[in-house]
Structure 1
Amino acid sequence: MKKLRTKQAVICFIGVAVCKLGFAGCYPFIPAYFAAAYLERGGRLLLGIGMFLGMAFMLPLTLMTKYVMTLLVTIVIIKLAEWVNKGCYTWIAAFGAGCSATLLSVFGEMLNVRDGMRTEMAVLEGVFIFAATMVLSRIIHSFLEFTFMNQPIPEIKSNEEEKLLTYAKSFQSLSDIFGRMNVEHTSFSAEEMGRMQNEITGKMCVSCDQCALCWEKDDSPMYGYLSSLLQSIREAGKTNRDIEKKMEEYCPYMQEMTAEALRIFEKASLNMAWYNRLVENREVIAEQLDAMAYIMEDCAKKQKNITEECRSNLQDIAYRARERGIKVIDEQLWEKENGRWQLVMKVMVKDGCVTTRELTKAVAGALNRRMIPEKDTKTLIGKGVNLYTYEEEPRFQAIYGVARMVKDGAAVSGDNFSFLEPESGKMVMCLSDGMGSGSLACKESEMVIELVEKFLEAGFDVETAARMMNSAMVMKGQEDLFSTVDISELDLYDGTCRFYKIGAAATFIRRNGIVECLISTSLPVGVSYKLDMEKSEKDLYNGDFLVMVSDGVLEYLHVPNPEETMQEIIESIETNNATILAKRILERVLLFTGGKAADDMTVLATAIWEK
């Protein structure tokens, strides 16, 4: 604050010195400098007193009267503009100062302050005042505002980035360790078969009187018979009768040995199942550790601060904002990895309120880019310090429509959907079809949608969010309750759309009346810890439509090729309204089903338009 007051005092002293600058009998720098400095709201009284004293000591009475009147008219014009719009544009102040000086010179006789100036000279003085005010306003504003700034918005410190990267590497290492441990067993090895054989003989044969006859003779066939017995149990789940008959000739306890072999093999099979379950859990944990490592690496990615490189642009923003009655306290300009800019700024209004739209105009005009405030931004700027974040405006906008029908006899639909924007310029459309219908299917698909939404809002990308969601559904462990997942991620900046399908029905893209079909053959979520996800990517353009449907829409068309029939249905509907398109698709499908809904039906239609 002391530095600011010092600078205001400097502005005042310069104003006093300006009163001495004159040529050809006129002093145009006085009204020009005063108008430019007066637009800065601080130190106005000190500026007025200083320049009045300067004119009193340095100018003759007639000229002093003229320029005092000019300054008074300029003050009135600026005050009126600020009263109407909370701010005064520089050109208004410059025009007022120039016109008032010209008129006072031309009609000097009426005011008894004629200074002998010709009309042509008075007009030239007014033009000079206008131009000088425009130039001096920029210079004075930069001197006051951009050589004195508050503390900048803090960046992530380098040591914090290093810590995050270290944590990410640690989680990745743990994931690799779990990955190396994950060796699933589908059959028993020779070593395990040998251990089972030793366990059987150790329990049944050690206390038998004929043990020496069966196992100590080199030509005893018991080794081969017992091995064949275990092999038959492994392959068929029961003993081979022919082997049992051969063993009965040598072993009087054949029935007991067979029963023990089945028991031991059943125990070994149960242990293998538990081991494989442990392997699956390790795989799930490994995927979750991978996801944690990814999000930490993403958080550690440092955006490039281009504040100093674009200092002139930021000065222009503050200048334009000041004209609208908004004071910029601090600004930081960032460049993201994708090359798009993000502006973070602190602003305030001295009196009353100013709409955010005015600040947006100042930002967009100064940066020469289409900038918009982030969603949920306040619409009015008040007296307190307000933090605003601006992003580049996307090239496209997406408008969606929904049509759905509940299965006949069911109370709720087993289909659930979501449209969300996890970050600026991204739109994600998600459709989940719970197996079956009714409340159980609804709860299952609703849980899938909620998990995907939460992971996306937490900062995970779509693929990682889908894998995390699948891990959660697998660990949930409820049998016979699975859900399909159909996700479309649209980049509104370049029109790229990525499709992620997990057991989902086909997706359709309509462009210029021609429909393209994307078919999936993957399994639903929750079936296996190894997610079966099909990915594809397409470029969408102005006027394209994206149609996503649940399984119930295609399965009950009762035609050999339901995807082809759906393509024909979409091609036959002429509309540019997403909601109407979704409703008409469902109406056409009901013509094939006789007006009955044998399953839950949901149609999502999204229209892509250039702004």
Structure 2
Amino acid sequence: MLKTEFVLSKQKKINNLFDFDSQQVLCMILAFFIGRANILDKLTPFGISFISAYIIIGKLNIFVLISTILGIFTFHGLKGMDYFIVIIVISLLFNNSNRLKNLSIIGSSIVSSILFTMVKFAFVIVFKPMFIYDIFTILFEGVVVFALTYIFCHTLSMESSEIRYSSENLICGIITLSLTLTGMQNMSIAGLSVKRILSVLIILYLGFSEGAFIGGAAGISLGLISHISQPEMPFILSIYGLAGMLTGLFKDLGKIGSSLGFLLGNCIISFYINGYGTSFIKPWELGISVILFLLLYNVLNNYFSGYMEVALGRMKERSYSQRKDEITINRLKEISKVFGELSATFKGAAKYEKKFDAEKIYKLIDDIANSLCANCGMRKFCWEEDFHTTYNLIYNTISLMEGNKCITEDNLPPSIRDYCINKDEVIEIMKTHFNIFEANALWEKKLLENRELVSEQLKEVSNIIEKTINDIYTKPIFKEDMEEEIYASLKNKKVDVKNVIVIELDKNKLEIYVDVDKSYKGKNSQENIERIVTDTVDIPLKVEFILDLPKNEGKRFKLIRRNRYSALTEVVTIANDYNNISGDNYTFGEGDNNYFVALSDGMGIGKRANNESNIAIELLESFLEAKFDKKLTLKTINSILMLKSNDEIFTTFDISLLDLYSGKLQAIKMGAPATFIKRNNEVKIINSQSLPVGILKDIDFNIYEEYLEDGDIIIMMSDGVLEANRNIENVEQWMKDIIKNINSINPKVIADTILEIAKKVSKNQIRDDMTILVTKVWKNR
């Protein structure tokens, strides 16, 4: 059970005593009108309960205290002195008694009730003759003080972590608002009741934002409490209760629908009671309340939504979700840091090893000298008496070998050729040791290159994780107004929609989740939902994925903004006549705002060529899906092909990357034949002289960039297609003329036509594999 000592610390209580801000102004207004709220036109225990709750939870503020006292005196005048004395007694005792501070809220509420009852009895005994009626009245007020103090404590104790939040907390808040409206009594403007206008506004807001249950509960509470001293209270209670429930039930139709639901509830009860008589709520009061609701809903929601989140426990659930995100982000940061440190370690090791080239040369000379001269009779003259000369002679000989010169007796230094008694052995031993040295240096060089490559890959992994962290950090904006609009449109179109969530992650990044029931129905199909939602929000959308919900018949559709451009690829391929195994491999697909097409032609023909190109394509797909940098991707594939086997393995690469938002094409070629872009009746040729991947350590590729237009067609092909015509020297111009003369814009027709012409000119002798990829690009309307 919650104890008052856990609500606020002592220092915070002292700070709150003289605190004054906009929040305190609202509390002062509540305190003033609650102080004026009455029962039987003379009993005002509510102000005592309100200020007691403030004192118990440690939020006592001098300005709120004064407002409560003023509210009581504006109703009673000096006759309210007994209530004033009660407030002073409760304030002094609770602020100076440690035992009272350690009580639970319910215990403190009982003490407040007892103190109120004792002071009232004492005041009546001293200043008035006592009647039985007075005794019952005081006891009744004591019970009200106990109940309302407990309720107000739960209304005001939202800072406590000890409270289990539920709908009951919100009901306590509604009771507090009801008592505030009760304190307004007969306040009116131009004959219109302020209390009724605000009551209807509150019911409309709560019914629309929280549903039928809260709307009905708010209506019953406001009708009962705010009109408790008025004879029409039962009728107002019925109107508010039914109207509140209908407001919540019609929330799916938007704010207008909720307003109509309230009007319907008012008409039903009013007609039942009065027939065709006058409504208990004036039409002008209803009209003004509806207009205020439509105009001020967002303002009210911004102010009260936080309270609703806490009161209904949603804030706690969101807090758990945020904590999960923080744990995930921190873990990803740790992993990213580890990869970054590993990258730096490999890079540092590669740089560190390069510093020992000279020392290795010196060691080579020592090995040669020890192998050749250790047992030589002339050692004393060469190494002991003339060490520096001999050392330099061997060093110069090694330099000749390093320059790829073959060492013979003729090009030996004169001192070795004329004076060394073992010059033939010198040549053989130096060759042997230098070959070993050169092989070791080559492997060390490869090891260093691989370390640098691993370093770059680890760094890229670290960067990808950092980007993922930034995506998680992106705070989504939930577009509630758009959710309502989409939900209403789907309902009107007879779609069995269960829920709609609209999230704005970036300026141009919108995600819409639609949950439907009975997905087997035609009206709940992907195409229908996509069309309805697109028409509703007036933004081109597409379904990115479909998820089966826990219940067998339900599905969740995720819709995202459709790109400005779309692309479609058609492929035709035919293997060579020698073994019918194609060495060409290809891939194409759509990612986040991009479209890619890739063609790889392995060295030679047959199974080995197919294996080489397949490896390259699979690696490319994996790296593109992981969002690796293009240059690092190609460098990694190149290194893997070089390291995979001792034999030469290489393959061509022809890659087209299209930004579907801007229409920008990037064509990357590595040993690949020409690519053709057809625009209306013009054909452009994209060519490159770079080598295939897997041949050299340092890859060389060119990136051709161009902005495509609506209807452009990209044609990529393997070299077997161009080399089919051996009678023409300029095969690129030949292919350009063929493409230009094709009168179709269908990519499948274009691909089939080119293949048929290539087969025809080669007389159906397929000497090399032929693959053609035709991609059509168009602008979305």
Normalising by structure 2, we get a TM-score of: 0.60
In the aligned structure 2, how far is the partner of 1:88 from the partner of 1:21?
Answer: 34
Q: Does 1:283 align with 2:445?
A: no
Is the 2:224–2:233 Cα contact (8 Å) retained in structure 1?
Answer: no
2:3 is matched with none
In the aligned structure 1, how far is the partner of 2:391 from the partner of 2:264?
Answer: 118
| Cα-to-partner distance string for 1:491-538 (whole Å, 9 max, x where unaligned) | 212122223222222222222332222212222222233223333322
Q: Secondary structure at the match of 1:529?
A: coil
1:91 is matched with 256
In the aligned structure 1, how far is the partner of 2:399 from the partner of 2:223?
Answer: 112
In structure 1, give the amino acid aligned to 2:170: K
Please tell me the root mean square deviation across aligned C-alpha atoms, in Å: 5.4
2:709 is matched with 541
1:460 is matched with 628
1:2 is matched with 165
Q: Secondary structure at the match of 1:266?
A: helix
Which of 138, 151, 162 is 2:318 aligned to? 151
In the aligned structure 1, how far is the partner of 2:515 from the partner of 2:508?
Answer: 26
1:442 is matched with 610
Q: Secondary structure at the match of 2:639?
A: helix
In the aligned structure 1, how far is the partner of 2:475 from the partner of 2:404?
Answer: 74
2:481 is matched with 316
In the aligned structure 1, how far is the partner of 2:393 from the partner of 2:226?
Answer: 124
Q: Does 1:303 align with 2:470?
A: yes
Which of 574, 590, 593 is 2:759 aligned to? 590
Deviation at 1:557, TM superposition (A): 2.7
Q: How does 1:569-584 map to 2 (within 5 A)?
A: 569-584=738-753
In the aligned structure 2, how far is the partner of 1:61 from the partner of 1:214?
Answer: 128
Is the 2:343–2:455 Cα contact (8 Å) retained in structure 1?
Answer: yes
Which of 266, 269, 276 is 1:114 aligned to? 276
Is the 1:34–1:71 Cα contact (8 Å) retained in structure 2?
Answer: no
| Cα-to-partner distance string for 1:167-212 (whole Å, 9 max, x where unaligned) | 45534433433543676999999979966874675168x147xx88
In the aligned structure 1, how far is the partner of 2:606 from the partner of 2:654?
Answer: 20
Deviation at 1:60, TM superposition (A): 7.0
Is the 1:101–1:126 Cα contact (8 Å) retained in structure 2?
Answer: no
In the aligned structure 2, how far is the partner of 1:57 from the partner of 1:526?
Answer: 89
Is the 2:713–2:774 Cα contact (8 Å) retained in structure 1?
Answer: yes
Q: Does 1:50 align with 2:208?
A: no
Deviation at 1:552, TM superposition (A): 1.4
Is the 1:355–1:381 Cα contact (8 Å) retained in structure 2?
Answer: no
Q: Secondary structure at the match of 1:376?
A: strand
1:332–1:96 distance in 2 versus 1, CA, 3 Å: closer
Deviation at 1:387, TM superposition (A): 10
1:534–1:259 distance in 2 versus 1, CA, 3 Å: farther
In the aligned structure 2, how far is the partner of 1:387 from the partner of 1:599?
Answer: 48
Deviation at 1:599, TM superposition (A): 1.0
In structure 2, give the amino acid aligned to 1:474: M
In the aligned structure 2, how far is the partner of 1:296 from the partner of 1:217?
Answer: 60
Q: Does 1:294 align with 2:460?
A: yes
In the aligned structure 2, how far is the partner of 1:386 from the partner of 1:434?
Answer: 44
Q: Secondary structure at the match of 1:471?
A: helix
Deviation at 1:476, TM superposition (A): 0.7
1:287–1:384 distance in 2 versus 1, CA, 3 Å: farther
Q: Does 1:273 align with 2:435?
A: no
Is the 2:368–2:433 Cα contact (8 Å) retained in structure 1?
Answer: no
Deviation at 1:89, TM superposition (A): 3.2
Is the 2:682–2:740 Cα contact (8 Å) retained in structure 1?
Answer: yes
1:408–1:609 distance in 2 versus 1, CA, 3 Å: same
If you compute each CA radius of gyration, which structure gives the higher value, 1 or 2? 2
Deviation at 1:551, TM superposition (A): 1.9
In structure 2, give the amino acid aligned to 1:432: S
Deviation at 1:415, TM superposition (A): 0.9
1:507 is matched with 675
Q: How does 1:178-197 map to 2 (within 5 A)?
A: 178-180=349-351
Deviates more, 1:33-42 or 1:557-566: 33-42
1:463–1:284 distance in 2 versus 1, CA, 3 Å: same
In the aligned structure 1, how far is the partner of 2:416 from the partner of 2:453?
Answer: 53
1:38 is matched with 207
Which of 396, 399, 418 is 2:568 aligned to? 399
Q: Secondary structure at the match of 2:571?
A: strand
In the aligned structure 2, how far is the partner of 1:135 from the partner of 1:361?
Answer: 31
Which of 418, 423, 426 is 2:594 aligned to? 426
Counting helix residues as a fraction of each chain, which structure ranks higher?
A: 2
Deviation at 1:21, TM superposition (A): 8.7
- What is the number of equivalent residue pairs in this alignment? 579
Q: Give me the identity figure in percent.
A: 21
Deviation at 1:431, TM superposition (A): 1.4
Which of 344, 348, 351 is 1:173 aligned to? 344
1:291–1:250 distance in 2 versus 1, CA, 3 Å: closer
Q: Does 1:495 align with 2:663?
A: yes
Q: Secondary structure at the match of 1:436?
A: coil
Q: Secondary structure at the match of 2:547?
A: coil
Unaligned runs of 5+ in 2: 1-163, 310-314, 492-496
In the aligned structure 1, how far is the partner of 2:456 from the partner of 2:393?
Answer: 49
Deviation at 1:416, TM superposition (A): 0.9
In structure 1, give the amino acid aligned to 2:214: G
Is the 1:407–1:598 Cα contact (8 Å) retained in structure 2?
Answer: yes
Q: Secondary structure at the match of 1:271?
A: helix
1:594–1:361 distance in 2 versus 1, CA, 3 Å: closer
Deviation at 1:328, TM superposition (A): 7.8
Q: How does 1:186-335 map to 2 (within 5 A)?
A: 198=369, 202=373, 206-207=376-377, 240=408, 257-258=423-424, 261-301=427-467, 303=470, 307=475, 314-317=479-482, 319-320=484-485, 334-335=505-506
Deviation at 1:279, TM superposition (A): 0.6
Deviates more, 1:424-433 or 1:169-178: 169-178
In the aligned structure 1, how far is the partner of 2:551 from the partner of 2:231?
Answer: 46
| Cα-to-partner distance string for 1:53-95 (whole Å, 9 max, x where unaligned) | 4698577769949x9579758967975x78xxxx443333334
In structure 2, give the amino acid aligned to 1:509: I
Is the 2:664–2:706 Cα contact (8 Å) retained in structure 1?
Answer: yes
Deviation at 1:449, TM superposition (A): 1.2
Is the 2:683–2:736 Cα contact (8 Å) retained in structure 1?
Answer: yes
In structure 2, give the amino acid aligned to 1:477: S
Q: Secondary structure at the match of 1:574?
A: coil
Deviation at 1:542, TM superposition (A): 2.3
Deviates more, 1:536-545 or 1:190-199: 190-199
In the aligned structure 1, how far is the partner of 2:692 from the partner of 2:191?
Answer: 88
2:53 is matched with none
Q: How does 1:373-412 map to 2 (within 5 A)?
A: 375-378=544-547, 392-412=561-581
Deviates more, 1:50-59 or 1:259-268: 50-59
In the aligned structure 2, how far is the partner of 1:230 from the partner of 1:30?
Answer: 101
Deviation at 1:259, TM superposition (A): 5.3
1:236–1:288 distance in 2 versus 1, CA, 3 Å: closer
In the aligned structure 2, how far is the partner of 1:407 from the partner of 1:436?
Answer: 11
Deviates more, 1:156-165 or 1:173-182: 156-165
Which of 730, 737, 740 is 1:568 aligned to? 737
In the aligned structure 2, how far is the partner of 1:47 from the partner of 1:384?
Answer: 36
| Cα-to-partner distance string for 1:96-136 (whole Å, 9 max, x where unaligned) | 5447868999xx6x98533358xxx96x7776565455446
1:237–1:405 distance in 2 versus 1, CA, 3 Å: same
Deviates more, 1:391-400 or 1:357-366: 357-366
Normalising by structure 1, we get a TM-score of: 0.74
Deviation at 1:597, TM superposition (A): 2.0
In structure 1, give the amino acid aligned to 2:275: V
Q: Secondary structure at the match of 1:2?
A: coil
Is the 1:434–1:483 Cα contact (8 Å) retained in structure 2?
Answer: yes
Deviation at 1:292, TM superposition (A): 1.0
Deviation at 1:319, TM superposition (A): 5.0
1:413 is matched with 582
